[in-house]
């Protein structure tokens, strides 16, 4: 009876080891965001590490909304620390791709074993940058044609860097599984 109760509790709670891993992924997103505040003139370069850690979190922690939790946690930290322009709307840059990653893994559970599937999932997740840019530009009062071009430019850079970051996931997950970490 005690073992059944412990199994039921484990399914509804997040173990400390996995919660710490998700917290570290969120902190690493925050650190890379702070480190990449350099004005490189390349739109979307921060999506490389953002998608890498969002996908790594979901690949290593078998809970449905692990990536969304990391995205929300890192978005809240960015807002609290003031690392971006846009106030609370900056959370969209973290939460929307995380939700896409979680939904993609729910639909195709074997996504982290394939380079192609990881790249497709990252492209979908990074394309949410278009929504974020559209919302912010609309609130500022830009014209629709300019908003669309600006959102498309930002999203294409984000997709490029997100796909490159996602291509690191299959070998990293394979190594983590081989060493028994995951």
Question: pLDDT-based confidence at 34, cuts 50/70/90?
Answer: confident
Instruction: State the average pLDDT for the chain.
Output: 87
Give kind and range of the element (H or E) at residue 96.
Answer: helix 92-107
Q: What whole-number distance in Å separates Cα of residue 122 and Cα of residue 160?
A: 9
pTM over 0.75: yes
Residues 182 and 59: beta-carbon distance below 8 Å: yes
Q: Is the pLDDT of residue 36 over 80?
A: no
Cβ proximity of 59 and 173 under 8 Å = yes
**Between 43 and 71, whose confidence is greater?**
71
pLDDT tops 60 at residue 115: yes
Catalogue all structural domains in the chain, each as residue range(s) with its CATH number.
16-178 (1.10.1760.20)
Note the pLDDT of residue 39. 65
Predicted confidence (pLDDT) at residue 9 exceeds the cutoff of 60: no
SS3 state at 133? helix
Neighbours of 62 (CB within 10 A): 11
């Amino acid at each position: 009876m005690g073992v059944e109760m412990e199994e039921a509790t484990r399914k509804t709670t997040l173990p400390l080891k996995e919660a710490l891993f998700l917290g570290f992924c969120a902190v690493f997103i925050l650190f890379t965001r702070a480190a990449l505040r350099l004005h490189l003139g390349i739109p979307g370069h921060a999506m490389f590490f953002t998608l890498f850690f969002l996908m790594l979190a979901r690949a290593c922690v078998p809970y449905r909304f692990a990536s969304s939790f990391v995205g929300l946690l890192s978005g809240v930290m960015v807002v609290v620390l003031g690392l971006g322009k846009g106030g609370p709307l900056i959370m969209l840059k973290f939460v929307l791709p995380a939700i896409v990653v979680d939904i993609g893994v729910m639909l195709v559970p074997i996504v982290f074993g394939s380079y192609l599937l990881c790249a497709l999932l990252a492209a979908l997740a990074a394309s949410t940058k278009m929504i974020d840019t559209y919302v912010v530009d609309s609130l500022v009062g830009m014209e629709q044609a300019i908003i669309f071009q600006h959102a498309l430019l930002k999203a294409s850079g984000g997709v490029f860097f997100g796909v490159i970051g996602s291509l690191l996931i299959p070998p990293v997950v394979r190594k983590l599984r081989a060493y028994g970490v995951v």
